[in-house]
């Protein structure tokens, strides 16, 4: 079977390997967790699956940063950096909008992408996935944190060993034949190093997009194998129950990889879904997006202004505004408003927003000032290109609880920055004025 030409898209400082085949419409971006673009084509079931996908779409394949043929990176990539990679590959292939297909561990990435960039997402497909990978009261069937950490240690010690790798593949793919096993072993072994494989699992321990599911507004198909296929069929049901208007399909079998098992049933469901999307049977809202909002204000501004006088205070404010805007530019923040001494900005990634806030808090003391900052991630309305809505009010209320020199975030923000290296101190549960419920808040560690 001919292997499509591998090309590279630039995503920041990283090169992302991708392939495109088929004619479409629609465009379909397939996001698997750990694969090798070219060696995958030596795996018969994978090659057949890709070929059949390409017969129903223009198929865009890529390797996540740090995986396969894409650039290796220090540490582990965050969900938002991987969202940048999807956009980079779509731009390189001149794909304005695409169906985003997330397999397994890549599911949360695709959920986050669909909620953040509905204007680039025609539809969402989730296969054998889950919104998080560690047990909590809402998803009690998932592995415990200790079990996941033990698995990460096992991967670090034994990744690459034939017997260990064979057991990993067989346990998650009982339909894999002995004849095909060697090609899968080679592709998996070459895709990542032991440290990267373990790091990937450790990042997944903290991944949680449960709060994002209700914000997905694009047509969604959730497919899960009844025998498990990853994190239990209950995880697939949970995804479908919490994504408004989504369709859930339970497929027979227990294989994690979609290219194994009953292909006719899988493609019958998928092709019907793609046809419905193409006929516009489901509306896509693009005036509501997932965004992270940042609020800052100067501590003791009234006293400072009184001590300096109007002219000196105005000059100091101008220097403060210039400093904040440099940080916003550095981290791709969008200035929404300035009210007196405060800034309101929005971001398409929570880790960037946190780092911007930390940069502001760290640098304003050189002006003899101190600021507090608060962040929240939620669904925002787009009004004349600017974000608005309850998430904005929530962000402002979070900021009002921040101490001088502190960056305070909501629990939603904390849950979305797994793998970023950011650490937090629990500031407890709070009531936010005018916002229903109790809110767990966290201070970013310096």
DSSP letter, residue 22: S
127-168 residue pLDDT tens: 999 999 999 999 999 999 999 999 999 999 999 999 999 999
Which residues contact residue 280 at a Cβ distance below 8 angstroms, ignoring those fewer than 6 apart?
A: none
Q: Residue 103 above 60 pLDDT? A: yes
H or E element at residue 257: none
If one compares 356 and 418, the residue with the highest pLDDT of the two is: 356
304-336 residue pLDDT tens: 889 999 999 999 999 999 999 999 999 999 999
Q: Residue 337 above 60 pLDDT? A: yes
Residue 410 CA to its chain's centroid (Å)? 17
pLDDT score for 281: 53
As a whole number, mean pLDDT of residues 184-207 equals 90
CATH class of 288-444: alpha beta
Upper half-sphere CA count for residue 26 (Cβ side, 13 Å): 26
* pTM of the predicted model as reported, rounded to 2 decimal places: 0.90
As a whole number, mean pLDDT of residues 34-61 equals 95
Upper half-sphere CA count for residue 97 (Cβ side, 13 Å): 16
pLDDT score for 146: 95
As a whole number, mean pLDDT of residues 334-350 equals 90
If one compares 389 and 270, the residue with the highest pLDDT of the two is: 270
Q: Residue 286 above 70 pLDDT? A: no
Q: Residue 230 above 60 pLDDT? A: yes
Highest mean pLDDT: which range of 139-148, 192-201, 411-420: 139-148
How would residue 339 be classed by pLDDT, with cut points 50, 70 and 90?
confident
Q: Residue 284 above 80 pLDDT? A: no
* Helix extents (H) in 288-434: 301-308, 310-330, 350-363, 390-400, 411-415
How would residue 381 be classed by pLDDT, with cut points 50, 70 and 90?
confident
Q: Residue 285 above 80 pLDDT? A: no
Q: State the average pLDDT for the chain.
A: 92
As a whole number, mean pLDDT of residues 98-117 equals 96
Q: Residue 343 above 80 pLDDT? A: yes
As a whole number, mean pLDDT of residues 222-243 equals 92
pLDDT score for 6: 97
How buried is residue 2: exposed, middle or buried, by Cβ count under 10 Å (0-12/13-18/19+)? exposed
As a whole number, mean pLDDT of residues 38-55 equals 96
Portion of the chain with pLDDT greater than 70, in percent: 98
SS3 389: coil
- CA distances (Å), origin 258, targets 57, 111, 217, 409: 17, 19, 25, 38
CATH 3.30.70.1230 residue ranges of the chain are 288-444
Task: Copy the structure tokens of residue 6.
Answer: 């591998």
pLDDT score for 2: 76
Q: Residue 287 above 90 pLDDT? A: no
Q: What is the homologous superfamily of the domain 7-278 according to CATH?
A: Alpha/Beta hydrolase fold, catalytic domain (3.40.50.1820)
How would residue 62 be classed by pLDDT, with cut points 50, 70 and 90?
very high
pLDDT score for 283: 56
Q: Residue 408 above 70 pLDDT? A: yes
How buried is residue 340: exposed, middle or buried, by Cβ count under 10 Å (0-12/13-18/19+)? exposed
CB contact at 8 A, 239 and 149: no
CATH 3.40.50.1820 residue ranges of the chain are 7-278
**Measured distance CA(108)–CA(129) in Å, rounded:** 8
If one compares 446 and 443, the residue with the highest pLDDT of the two is: 443
pLDDT score for 418: 81
């Amino acid at each position: 079977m001919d292997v499509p030409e591998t090309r590279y898209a630039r995503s920041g400082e990283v090169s992302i390997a991708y392939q495109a085949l088929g004619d479409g419409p629609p465009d379909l971006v397939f996001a698997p967790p750990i694969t090798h673009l070219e060696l995958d084509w030596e795996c018969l079931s994978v090659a057949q699956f890709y070929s059949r996908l390409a017969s129903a779409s223009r198929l865009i394949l890529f390797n996540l940063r740090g995986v396969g043929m894409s650039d290796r990176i220090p540490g582990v990539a965050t969900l938002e950096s991987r969202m940048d990679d999807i956009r980079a590959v779509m731009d390189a292939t001149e794909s304005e909008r695409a169906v985003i297909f997330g397999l397994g561990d890549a599911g949360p990435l695709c959920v986050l992408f669909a909620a953040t960039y509905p204007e680039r997402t025609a539809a969402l497909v989730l296969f054998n996935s889950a919104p998080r990978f560690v047990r909590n009261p809402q998803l009690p069937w998932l592995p415990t944190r200790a079990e996941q950490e033990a698995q990460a240690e096992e991967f670090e010690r034994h990744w690459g060993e034939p017997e260990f790798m064979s057991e990993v593949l067989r346990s998650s793919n009982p339909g894999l034949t002995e004849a095909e096993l060697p090609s899968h072993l080679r592709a998996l072994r070459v895709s990542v190093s032991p440290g990267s494989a373990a790091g990937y699992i450790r990042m997944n321990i903290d991944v949680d997009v449960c709060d994002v599911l209700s914000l997905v507004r694009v047509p969604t198909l959730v497919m899960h194998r009844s025998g498990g296929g990853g994190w239990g069929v209950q995880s697939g049901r949970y995804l479908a129950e919490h994504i408004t208007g989504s369709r859930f399909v339970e497929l027979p079998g227990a294989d994690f990889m979609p290219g194994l098992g009953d292909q006719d049933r899988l493609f019958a469901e998928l092709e019907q879904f793609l046809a419905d999307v193409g006929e516009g049977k489901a509306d896509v809202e693009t005036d509501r997006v997932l965004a992270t909002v940042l609020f800052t204000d100067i501590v003791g501004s009234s006293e400072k202004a009184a001590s300096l006088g109007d002219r000196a205070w105005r000059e100091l404010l101008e220097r403060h505004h210039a400093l904040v805007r440099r940080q916003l530019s550095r981290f791709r923040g969008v200035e929404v408003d300035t009210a007196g001494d405060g800034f309101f900005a929005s971001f398409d990634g929570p880790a960037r927003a946190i780092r911007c806030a930390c940069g502001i808090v760290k640098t304003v003391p050189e002006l003899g000032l101190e600021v507090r900052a608060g962040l929240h991630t939620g669904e925002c309305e787009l009004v004349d290109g600017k974000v608005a809505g309850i998430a904005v009010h929530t962000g402002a209320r979070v900021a009002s609880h921040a101490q001088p020199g502190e960056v305070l975030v909501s629990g939603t923000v904390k849950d979305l920055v797994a793998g970023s290296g950011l650490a937090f101190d629990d500031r407890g549960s709070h009531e936010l004025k005018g916002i229903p419920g109790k809110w767990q808040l966290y201070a970013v560690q310096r």
